[in-house]
Amino acid sequence: MGTLTFIGMGLYDEKGISLRGLEAARSAHTVMLEGYTNLMPGLRLDALEALLGKMPLLLSRGAVEDGGEILRAAEERDVAFLVAGDPFIATTHVDLRLRAARRGIRVEVVNAPSIISVAPGAAGLQNYKFGKSATITFPPPQSDVPYDTLKMNRAAGLHTLFFLDLRAEEGQFMTANEGLRLLLDAERRRGEGAFAPGTLSVAIARAGGPEQLVRAGTAEALSGESFGKPPHSLIIPGRLHFMESDALVAFAGADRALVRGCE
Amino acid sequence: MGTLTFIGMGLYDEKGISLRGLEAARSAHTVMLEGYTNLMPGLRLDALEALLGKMPLLLSRGAVEDGGEILRAAEERDVAFLVAGDPFIATTHVDLRLRAARRGIRVEVVNAPSIISVAPGAAGLQNYKFGKSATITFPPPQSDVPYDTLKMNRAAGLHTLFFLDLRAEEGQFMTANEGLRLLLDAERRRGEGAFAPGTLSVAIARAGGPEQLVRAGTAEALSGESFGKPPHSLIIPGRLHFMESDALVAFAGADRALVRGCE
């Protein structure tokens, strides 16, 4: 019986792996990698292979969800399974860990940065002021979850982090622009005042890498801007502390009057 | 004018730094480190020095809050500033980044794992089901914030992550046991039914390292257990998805009937 080590790769490229993760991947018999790695905009397979001293076996999304190949390998030898971001953010990976435990496979975990902590920090917003997060999914159908989440958080003065839907294997990533338009659509449909064209919004592109971009402005203004290559995410702030306002002005180009109005 | 690079070290020891972080620290002229590093239970200064090829300058908490020494150094040369966890979770670091920007110092950031993403994953709980987080502070006075936060989140069926207070330079860390007792005290004082001795609770010790411990049980049962060395944190779950229940049973020793009652 081998060990299955989940190793987070972080958000940008092969250099996001920790030293502990690198050691574990180098010493494993087999390295497997989620093949839909366009989640990590800077990742190059040849650079990863050079770093690890072996070629990772690429797994399709279907193979990761099925899990059989990973589990069968880990029953016989040590397997390092490389994933974008931090390992147990995705339900698929929690499920895989549970199935490994049931088969008696020893599981180890090496953490890495996740969009959950990186996006708030990139915008200079305080983590403890975030409420529930949600994913804005590609329509149809138009899910009510993002709008309901935003309404609940804003009523409590809390910030909302939105993950944007992706079909990574098909190369489809929702842009921050589309996310904002879907929130504006939801407001027109629902009319409950949780969001408006003038609402302060923050778009984050390529979080956690050297090409990270953070822009704050009204939903209307941002939906006309271009943020470049994916992945993108969105934050809709609630009440701002003055240091958060200063950070949005300094790091995200926000208009001072706009952020002051949210303090 | 130099560059000030904030480099996250993760949660456990010197091997939590990413390859990008290691490169940046090695190439910087000066490496500074928050001296109250007992936040990272496995960190050894001699191992860090050997890794970086230079001795980091230890800064007291006061020196980090004051920031003058860091900013003056970064005005003249490239400075790598090593911090526990991910860089911009602490307000002090956001403030320092703002002040660097005002002085025209170029700022770079290298992310690392944060307790914010690691603790939910360690417990197998889904991140998007967490509401606002809060810190349980040492009394007196007994803050109402943790109880208010828990009440709001549980009413919405959401999980709550509690950071536990610390006075790292004095070596004082609140244990998960003390945190649970303070929540039970708050319930006795407030009587609003957000928490009870029988409430499902999760204690996490030394998150993100090889000695990580995750235990789930009633508040009453957990408050009598010992979780070993700090740091600790707490999660009070809201409504559980069945995969979350399974994870709490498999990874945290929860009683199946107890978690089923929370689905």
- Please report the pLDDT score of residue A218 as a whole number: 98
User: How confident is the model over B36-45, as pLDDT tens digits?
Assistant: 656 899 999 9
Which of these ranges, A32-41, A126-135, A225-234, A245-254, has the smallest mean pLDDT?
A32-41
In our burial notation (b when 16+ CB lie closer than 10 A, e otherwise), range A215-247 reads bbbbbebbbeeebeebbbbbbbbbebeeebbbb
> Is the Cβ–Cβ distance between B113 and B208 less than 8 Å?
yes
Least confident of A36-45, A182-191, B4-13, B128-137: A36-45
| CB spacing of A132 vs B128 below 8 angstroms | yes
Rounded to whole angstroms, the Cα distance separating B129 from B236 reads 12
Whether the per-residue pLDDT at B171 is higher than 90: the answer is no
Task: Please check the confidence at residue A37 and state whether its pLDDT lies above 70.
Answer: no
CA distance B106 to B84: 21
pTM comes to 0.96
Q: Do A251 and B111 touch (CB under 8 A)?
A: no
Q: How confident is the model over A79-91, as pLDDT tens digits?
A: 999 999 999 888 8
Q: Measuring CA to CA, which residue among B160, B164, B166, B171 is closest to residue B133?
A: B160
Decide if B69 contacts B63 (C-beta within 8 A): yes
Verify whether the Cβ–Cβ distance A89 to B117 is below 8 Å: yes
In tens, the pLDDT along B219-248 reads: 999 999 999 999 999 999 999 999 999 999
CB contact under 8 A, B19 and A23: no
Could you give the maximum distance between any two Cα atoms of chain A, in Å?
A: 62
> Model confidence over A146-164: pLDDT tens digits?
999 999 999 999 999 999 9
| Confidence (pLDDT) at B145 | 97
Quick check: A15 and B11 CB within 8 A? no
Contact B113, B16 (CB under 8 A): yes
- Best to test chain A binding among B4, B15, B127 (most A CBs inside 10 Å): B127
At what angle are helices B68-76 and B91-102 packed, to 10 degrees? 40
A250 vs B98, B120, B152: nearest CB = B98
Of the candidates A98, A114, A121, the beta carbon closest to that of B246 is on A98
pLDDT of the residue at B61 = 87
Shortest distance, CA B184 to any CA of chain A (angstroms): 22
Supply A110's token pair: 């090496």
User: Which residue in A8, A162, A5 sits closest to A85, CA to CA?
Assistant: A8
From A26's Cα to the closest Cα of chain B, the distance in A is 14
pLDDT band (50, 70, 90) for residue A167: confident
Mean pLDDT of A105-114: 96
Provide ipTM, 2 decimals.
0.96
Identify the CATH homologous superfamily for domain B115-260.
Tetrapyrrole methylase, C-terminal domain (3.30.950.10)
C-alpha radius of gyration, chain A, whole number: 20
A127: alpha, beta or left? (left if phi > 0; alpha if psi -120 to 50): alpha
B42 and B12 Cβ atoms separated by less than 8 Å: yes
The counts of H helices and E strands in chain A are 11, 12
Asked if A133 has any chain B CB less than 8 Å from its own CB, the reply is: yes
Q: What band does A238 get if pLDDT is binned at 50, 70 and 90?
A: very high
What span, in angstroms and rounded, lies between the C-alpha atoms of B163 and B194? 18
Average model confidence (pLDDT) across chain A: 95
Architecture of domain B3-110: 3-Layer(aba) Sandwich (3.40)
Measured between beta carbons, which residues in chain B are less than 8 angstroms from residue A165?
none
Task: Report B:92-111 residues touching A (Cβ under 8 A).
Answer: 94-95, 97-98, 101-102, 108-109, 111
Return d(Cα B247, Cα A228) in angstroms, integer: 38
pLDDT given at position B96: 96
- In this prediction, residue A61 carries a pLDDT of 87
What's the per-residue H, E or C state across B10-32?
A: ECCCHHHCEHHHHHHHHHCCEEE
Split at pLDDT 50, 70, 90, the class of A73 is very high
Provide the shortest C-alpha distance from residue A218 to chain B (in Å).
22
SS3 A84: coil
**Residue ranges per structural domain of chain A:** 3-110, 115-260
Contact B114 A113 (CB under 8 A): yes
Element spanning A50, H or E: helix A45-52
Cβ–Cβ under 8 Å, residues A95 and A67 = yes
